[in-house]
Amino acid sequence: MELEEEIVQKKRNRAMIYAIFWSLVFVVGVIYLNASQLKPVPGQMRIGVTYMTMNNEFYQTLNAEIERVADEKGDLLLVRNPELDEEKQSQQIDYFRQQKVNVIVINPVKGDSPKIIASLKRAQQAGIKIIAVDSQLSHFTVDASVVSDNYQAGVLVAQRLMKQKNEAKILLLEHKGTVSAEQRIQGFLDTIQSEPAYQVVGREETRGQTELALPAVSQVIQDGLAFDAVVALNDRAAIGSLAAIKENQLAMPISIYGIDGSPDMKVLLSTTDDIEGTVAQSPLKMGRQVMQVIECMRTGKSYKEQYKIPVEMIDKDNVDRYDVNGWQ
């Protein structure tokens, strides 16, 4: 008799566990559905953010600053990572539109992408404000842009290189189709244009990624191209070139320049002779500026079409003035 009662009790317990489990599943499902179609909260800004990639400490830091201020304001932030895929970024913009965000902050995968621009036009027609950050768009007018002085960054690299060397054979590491990267390279090229002692001997596509720069530069070395300077569109590509140079055991010294002012590059500058310089951007200032523009949009105050954040060269002479463990 006791055995039968015990079996009955076990069945009851099992049934109760199942009931609790499926109740939880139902509650989670309801929360998910509500979260996917959140109703607007009065005074709250709904912000959709899509960066070209989150595989970059610069964008991680920029996003953290935007998120910090958004949390303080009680705003809703939807962040997406297209992983350098313009089709995916286009879909993310359409998703933001469907979620009825107030503002889209975009760091475009490709500045002249027809798919991205078409999605942005649909968003704009729906009354959504568009802010471009770090890089810009071609053939599309955003409501505001927050960028570094990218052209000047290239100028500063050229000036520092010409100060360091009387002549140079230069390997450029690029990210074509990205306006910010193209402006940096153009600033560099315009500055050395009238100086025949400084020759560009090679140009490699790296998309600003260490894991692409390393094999690209390794291949250049193995092909026998002679160069004594690397100018990279950003620090990640510069670090990839350094890894390739060490991996291939090049005997001659190579001058390496990047753009970002990342902690990794500042550490290399302060502790080794592997890097000549990096031009400092400030993702913290950019993030705060983006949120200041959004605050103006919320309150109906005026704002500028473009905010250009100054840049500066970091080299061995001044790296001790910077926080090598963080961003500026």
Q: Are 137 and 298 in contact (CB under 8 A)?
A: no
74 three-state secondary structure: coil
- 123: its two tokens: 């968003």
Tokens of 77: 């932030």
- In this predicted model, what pLDDT tens digit does every residue of 77-93 receive, in sequence order? 999 999 999 999 999 99
As a whole number, mean pLDDT of residues 97-109 equals: 98
Provide the pLDDT confidence category of residue 235 given band limits of 50, 70 and 90.
very high
- pLDDT for 184 equals 97
Q: Return the CA Rg of the chain.
A: 25
**Over residues 314-318, mean pLDDT:** 96
Mean pLDDT over 158-176 rounds to 97
Q: Residue 16: what pLDDT?
A: 54
Enclosing H/E stretch for 101: none
pLDDT(35) > 80: no
Average pLDDT over residues 194-206: 97
Token pair 């450029």 is found at 172
Residue 33: per-residue pLDDT: 39
Q: What percent of the chain has pLDDT over 90?
A: 86
Q: Provide the token pair at 46.
A: 């709904």
**Alpha-carbon separation of residue 18 from 5, 7, 23, 28, 32 (angstroms):** 20, 17, 8, 15, 21
Dist CA 245 CA 184 (whole Å): 23
Is residue 175 predicted with pLDDT exceeding 60?
yes
Query: In which region does residue 109 sit, left (phi positive, over 0), alpha (psi from -120 to 50) or beta (all else)?
Result: alpha
Q: Tell me the mean pLDDT in the region 94-118.
A: 97
Distance of alpha carbon 24 from alpha carbon 3, whole angstroms: 32
Residue 189 identity: L
Tokens standing for residue 74: 């009680």
Candidates 272, 271, 267, 220; CA nearest to 248 is 220
Distance CA 154, CA 187 (A): 4
pLDDT higher at 38 or 39: 39
Q: Is the pLDDT score of 48 beyond 50?
A: yes
CA 56 to chain centre: 6
Mean pLDDT across the chain: 90
What pLDDT was estimated at residue 43?
A: 81
